[in-house]
């Protein structure tokens, strides 16, 4: 069997494992990668590669950044930062038609800035926002759609676990990726607000107004956003000024979150233990996925599929933007079928060299594919955020939840097109990074 055929067969087997078995993503990638590597170079070489990569992955200092940022988000979750953010947004925007949905999007954006996970944002904001919107007779379509779509901002707005892994896998500066994703993340949040405004203008009954909060109530609610601003300013400001490496920024953010929660006495010892336990669970899962992706990447490398793909693309006469649109379409379709993180780790060894061959900036490419694959978190049949929100609102039929998230797809399409035709949306801020 030719090497290229072996590589494509391995990818097909991997997709089948994702779709038809309950095998964890990391194990599936590792099994396919190890078996393929053994088929090409022999079992002895495969065992040697496995031992080397296990040591390299689990002894990597760079990967310590992942549990540190996850710990920061978990501490914020268990100390109730999300609830205080929502209270602040609600006080300022609740009286506008559709204002509770807008407040939900803004609270998701704020929590995303200190959490970095879309699933965590979906779970926490569902418990806070859905009961309030149900109380004021919001359409379940708009309510669930706003929570599910708004929670995806946790992947785009830094610090983001997905961006961390893209940086580690491709050797791209994590600090530059963080700053590059900031404007696109804020743009996406604004586009979500516009979607809510247009939907409520066309169907006013979807987003009734809530009572207007007085000026005093609004001012008293402002400290609810203070913790988020402090943590975001510490992490991103330290990275921007060159005071922190990404790992040091994660450590500083986790320590600051712990000090803030301890100072306000909002984190009990039991909740701190839960935060640490959840951090270990999530970090372990991500580490196994990364190890599986590395092993799969070694198999793809020995088959030379990434290099052949890059050479094939460079030989085409099609404009680079057209090729990039095709790559985006592949990521969008792949995001509908499998976990976004797994999709990125499987495809980065193939498409990252292609993007470099086409002359695209690696930082810009990382941001674009992050935005595109994030859509997968709310698209059927594997829209994990959609299922999380649906589980928190069992009275809402699943088709209505998917109808709600479909309203926000236009915002994603506009954001991706703007990034494609105006790359400086992602590349302007990184120019100032040390």
The token pair at 252 is 């500083």
Mean pLDDT of 295-323: 77
Domain count, the chain: 1
The token pair at 421 is 């035709």
Q: N- to C-terminal Cα distance for the chain?
A: 48
Question: Residue 1 has what pLDDT?
Answer: 61
| pLDDT grade for 434, boundaries at 50, 70 and 90 | low
pLDDT 10s digits, 405-428: 888 999 999 999 999 989 999 999
Phi, psi of 203 (to 5 degrees): -130, 80
Question: Residue 57 has what pLDDT?
Answer: 75
pLDDT 10s digits, 163-213: 888 888 888 888 899 889 999 999 999 999 999 999 988 888 888 877 777
Residue 52 clears pLDDT 80, i.e. is over it: yes
The token pair at 362 is 């690696």
Residue 313 clears pLDDT 70, i.e. is over it: no
Residue 13 clears pLDDT 80, i.e. is over it: yes
Distance CA 296, CA 318 (A): 30
Per-residue exposure over 191-223, b if at least 16 CB sit within 10 Å of its own CB, e if not: bbbebbbebbeeeeebbbebeebeeeeeeebee
pLDDT 10s digits, 152-162: 887 888 878 78
Question: Residue 382 has what pLDDT?
Answer: 62
| Residue 352 region by backbone torsions, left for phi larger than 0, else alpha for psi between -120 and 50, else beta | alpha
Question: Residue 33 has what pLDDT?
Answer: 87
Residue 24 clears pLDDT 90, i.e. is over it: no
Q: In percent, how much of the chain has pLDDT > 70?
A: 94
Domain extent for 220? 3-15+23-432
pLDDT 10s digits, 336-378: 766 677 778 778 888 888 888 888 999 999 999 999 888 877 8
Residue 384 clears pLDDT 80, i.e. is over it: no
| Residue 311 region by backbone torsions, left for phi larger than 0, else alpha for psi between -120 and 50, else beta | alpha
Task: Provide the 3-class DSSP secondary structure of residue 200.
Answer: helix
Nearest to 66 by CA among 342, 284, 345, 339: 284
Question: Residue 381 has what pLDDT?
Answer: 64
Phi, psi of 21 (to 5 degrees): -130, 165
Instruction: Please give the mean pLDDT across all residues of the chain.
Output: 82
Mean pLDDT of 248-257: 87
Instruction: Give the residue carrying structure tokens 């060299």.
Output: 353
Task: Provide the 3-class DSSP secondary structure of residue 161.
Answer: helix
Distance CA 197, CA 297 (A): 44
Distance CA 183, CA 427 (A): 9
Are the CB atoms for 195 and 187 separated by under 8 Å? no
Instruction: Give the residue carrying structure tokens 């990668």.
Output: 33
Are the CB atoms for 35 and 133 separated by under 8 Å? no
Question: Residue 314 has what pLDDT?
Answer: 65
Distance CA 389, CA 393 (A): 6
Nearest to 149 by CA among 121, 186, 111: 121
Residue 247 clears pLDDT 70, i.e. is over it: yes
In whole angstroms, how large is the CA radius of gyration of the chain? 22
pLDDT 10s digits, 122-138: 777 777 778 878 877 88
How far is residue 211 from each of residues 197, 333, 405, 412, measured CA to CA in Å? Answer: 18, 42, 26, 31
Distance CA 218, CA 211 (A): 12
């Amino acid at each position: 069997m030719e090497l290229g055929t072996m590589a494509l067969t391995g990818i097909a087997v991997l997709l089948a494992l994702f779709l038809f078995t309950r095998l964890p993503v990391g194990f599936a990638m590792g099994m396919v990668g190890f078996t393929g590597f053994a088929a090409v170079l022999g079992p002895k070489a495969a065992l040697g590669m496995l031992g080397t990569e296990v040591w390299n992955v689990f002894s990597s200092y760079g990967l310590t950044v992942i549990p540190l940022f996850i710990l920061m988000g978990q501490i914020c979750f268990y100390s109730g930062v999300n609830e205080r953010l929502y209270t602040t947004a609600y006080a300022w925007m609740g009286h506008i038609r559709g204002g509770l949905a807008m407040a939900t999007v803004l609270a998701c954006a704020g929590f995303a800035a200190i959490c970095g996970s879309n699933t965590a944002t979906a779970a926490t904001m569902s418990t806070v926002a859905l009961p309030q919107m149900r109380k004021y007779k919001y359409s379940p379509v708009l309510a669930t759609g706003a929570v599910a779509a708004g929670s995806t901002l946790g992947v785009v707005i830094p610090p983001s676990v997905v961006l961390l892994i893209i940086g580690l896998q491709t050797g791209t500066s994590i600090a530059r990726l963080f700053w590059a994703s900031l404007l696109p993340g804020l743009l996406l949040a604004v586009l979500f607000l516009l979607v809510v405004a247009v939907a409520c203008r066309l169907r006013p009954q979807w987003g009734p107004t809530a009572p207007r909060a007085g000026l005093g109530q609004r001012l008293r609610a402002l400290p609810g956003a203070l913790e988020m601003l402090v943590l975001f300013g510490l992490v991103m400001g330290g990275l921007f000024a060159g005071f922190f490496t990404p790992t040091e920024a994660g450590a500083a953010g986790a320590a600051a979150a712990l000090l803030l929660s301890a100072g306000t006495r909002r984190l009990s010892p039991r909740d701190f233990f839960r935060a640490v336990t959840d951090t270990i669970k999530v970090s372990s899962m991500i580490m196994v996925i990364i190890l599986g992706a590395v092993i799969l990447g070694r198999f793809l490398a020995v088959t030379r599929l990434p290099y052949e793909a890059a050479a094939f693309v460079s030989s085409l006469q099609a404009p680079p933007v057209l090729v990039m649109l095709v790559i985006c379409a592949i990521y969008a379709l792949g995001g509908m079928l499998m976990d976004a993180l797994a999709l990125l780790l499987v495809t980065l060894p193939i498409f990252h060299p292609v993007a470099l061959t086409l002359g695209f900036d690696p930082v810009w490419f990382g941001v674009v594919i992050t935005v595109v694959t994030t859509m997968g978190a709310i698209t059927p049949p594997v829209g994990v955020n959609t299922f999380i929100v649906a589980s928190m609102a069992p009275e809402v039929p699943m088709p209505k939840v998917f109808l709600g998230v479909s309203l926000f797809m236009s915002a994603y399409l506009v954001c991706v097109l703007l990034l494609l035709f105006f790359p400086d949306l992602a590349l302007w801020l990184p120019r100032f990074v040390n």
